[in-house]
Amino acid sequence: MSEKKFSKKHEWIMLDGETATVGISKHATEMLGDIVFVELPEKGKGLEKEEKAAVVESTKAASDVYTPVSGEIIETNQPIVDDPSNVNKDPENNGWFFKIKIKNKSELDTLMNQADYEKFVKDNPN
Amino acid sequence: MEKTALYNFHKNLGAKFVRFAGYEMPIQYKEGIVKEHIITRESAGFFDVSHMGQLFVSGNDSSEKSLEKIIPLDFKEIKMNQSKYSFLINDKGGVIDDLIITRVEGGFNIILNAACKDNDIKEIAKCLKSESKYELRKDLSLIALQGPKSETILESIVKGVKLLKFMNGSYFEFQGKKIYITRSGYTGEDGFEISVPNVNVVNLTKLLSDKGAKPIGLGARDTLRLEAGLCLYGHELNEDINPVQANLKWAISKRRRKEGGFKGWEKIKNDLQNGVSKIRVGIKPSGRIIAREGTKIFSSSGDEIGIVTSGTFGPSVNAPVAMGYIQSKFSEINNKILLEVRGKRHDAVVTKLPFYKKSYVK
């Protein structure tokens, strides 16, 4: 598995062969608060980088989740739909959103590594 | 930006702040909205609602007559220390603000919404005769203590509060000061609202904390009141909605419903007699879909019939909940409706309010 990368929209992505797993960062969950609703993309759906892929809602508001890379959705994480608090519990592991068959691995180069992301969050507190 | 006397207290507890009605107020603390909501339902939580206006109006026959022109209550019916929920009404019968009024020695205490209070005072001043005095009590904070353990907790700090009945108040002593406490709140739980001098409020909240009550932010206050089916000004109520449409005609006293004599009476009389074309209802979406404020409501045959005014996920009912206005002919309980969320229409039903059963001490 490759290293975990992050987008400016607070998604994380981790590549394993041709497939990448995508979720939202721990920081994002802290900003959102208690997540009470998750809507995931349909399997087989093709998405372009930075296209809307999923929706999360906290008690306060709804937010879109974007895919950090282009590709085809091959799997989604039903347990976070059945119990959305699973996202808050473990956002960067068991709280993953979807797996995407990646079209162009070079898109990963435009994303941040853990250290850069932490700096980005610090510089952009909102 | 204004701050309440508890601002630093909130900050030290790790509150997240939000700008609300010109005040910097805690939306949540470290526990988060869902946990704070559950704590209030199962134990006890305290809320800083000092941003709300605490208006004292001196009472005599003249001021009661004046107030009856803009508040549709039967003032003669309000007993000493009794609280009533009602409204300030405009010429069209629309709601300028919703309020709680309590008869106290020498007059009335009126609790007003933070965002409306300055305008409310202008409206009240306009109708009062010059001999009536009024004062916005900026020297006082307001703390709501809510939840099943409220009585035990507050009784251990202020002796005698357990004898208060719902929607009744009295003066008590706290740290050498006379404070006014009512048995009331806006969460659907038993509880108290404590009007305490700014200089004593930090001590009071520390004592409440020591006895096991937890601080609760405005986020949970909103999910609690929504589950309890209670209106929030600016959402379910505004100057274009009258109390009959809001399904709150019970908050217009019986005599006033017959005799009128208040602003907007013609419109309200008409709606009381002939019914309203749109009315406030509870809405339960199917599944976990949350219908936020502004969500369009459709009939099962596809006609647009209304709009959601508040919607969230209700932690105690463990399901999404909403309120909104729909055409009266579709307002029957269990009527099937559709909600348009992100371009898709989802099933929902008109539901009896409250979503969560109240447990007030009568």
Q: Which of B28, B289, B290 is facing A33, going by the closest CB pair?
A: B28
Q: CA torsion, points B38, B39, B43, B44, in degrees to nearest 10?
A: -130
Q: Which of B223, B288, B342 is facing A59, going by the closest CB pair?
A: B223
The ipTM of this complex is 0.85
Is B342 in contact with A59 (Cβ distance < 8 A)? Answer: no
Q: Which of B37, B223, B342 is facing A55, going by the closest CB pair?
A: B342
Q: How many other C-beta atoms are found inside a 10 Å radius of the C-beta of residue B155? A: 15
pLDDT band at A56 (very low <50, low <70, confident <90, very high): very high
Q: Please, which residues have CB within 8 angstroms of residue A107's CB and are 6 or more apart in sequence? A: A49, A68, A69, A70
Cα separation, B135 vs B56, whole angstroms: 5
0.90 surpassed by pTM: yes
Which residues of chain B does A33 touch, with a Cβ-Cβ cutoff of 8 Å?
Answer: 28, 32-33, 219
Q: Please, which residues have CB within 8 angstroms of residue B140's CB and are 6 or more apart in sequence? A: B50, B54, B195, B196, B197, B198
Cβ-based contacts under 8 A for chains A and B? 43
Residue A62 has, within 13 A of its CA and on its CB side, a CA count of 19
Q: pLDDT tens digits for B152-207?
A: 999 999 999 999 999 999 999 999 999 999 999 999 999 999 999 999 999 999 99
Q: How many other C-beta atoms are found inside a 10 Å radius of the C-beta of residue B3? A: 15
Cα separation, B100 vs B123, whole angstroms: 16
Give residue A119's Cα distance to chain centre: 19
**Residue ranges per structural domain of chain A:** 5-105
CB B4 within 8 A of CB B48: yes
CB B20 within 8 A of CB B114: yes
pLDDT band at B228 (very low <50, low <70, confident <90, very high): very high
Residue A111 has pLDDT above 90, yes or no: yes
Homologous superfamily of B1-228 in CATH? Answer: Probable tRNA modification gtpase trme; domain 1 (3.30.1360.120)
Q: Quick one: average pLDDT of B291-301?
A: 97
Instruction: Give the DSSP H/E element, type plus range, for residue B133.
Output: none
Q: pLDDT tens digits for B122-162?
A: 999 999 988 789 999 999 999 999 999 999 999 999 999 99
- In CATH, the number for domain A5-105 is 2.40.50.100
Q: Quick one: average pLDDT of A13-41?
A: 96
Is A34 in contact with B292 (Cβ distance < 8 A)? Answer: no
How confident is the model at residue B59, as a pLDDT? 84
Cα separation, A16 vs A4, whole angstroms: 10
The number of helix segments (H) and strand segments (E) in chain A equals 4, 10
| Phi and psi, residue B301, nearest 5° | -90, 5
Q: Name which residue leads in pLDDT, B132 or B248.
A: B248
**Which stretches of chain A sit within 8 Å of chain B by CB?**
33-34, 36-37, 39, 55, 57-62, 81, 84-85
Shortest alpha-carbon distance between residue A83 and chain B (Å)? 10
Shortest alpha-carbon distance between residue A96 and chain B (Å)? 19
Is B33 in contact with A55 (Cβ distance < 8 A)? Answer: no
Cα separation, A64 vs B10, whole angstroms: 30
**Residue ranges per structural domain of chain B:** 1-228, 249-351
Q: CA torsion, points B296, B302, B304, B305, in degrees to nearest 10?
A: -100
Is A36 in contact with B219 (Cβ distance < 8 A)? Answer: no
Q: pLDDT tens digits for B60-88?
A: 888 999 999 999 999 999 999 999 999 99
- Exposed e or buried b per residue across B104-124, where buried means at least 16 C-beta atoms within 10 angstroms of its C-beta: beebbbbbbbbbbbeebbebb
Residue B15 has pLDDT above 60, yes or no: yes
Which residues of chain B does A60 touch, with a Cβ-Cβ cutoff of 8 Å?
Answer: 27, 33, 219, 312
- In CATH, the number for domain B249-351 is 2.40.30.110
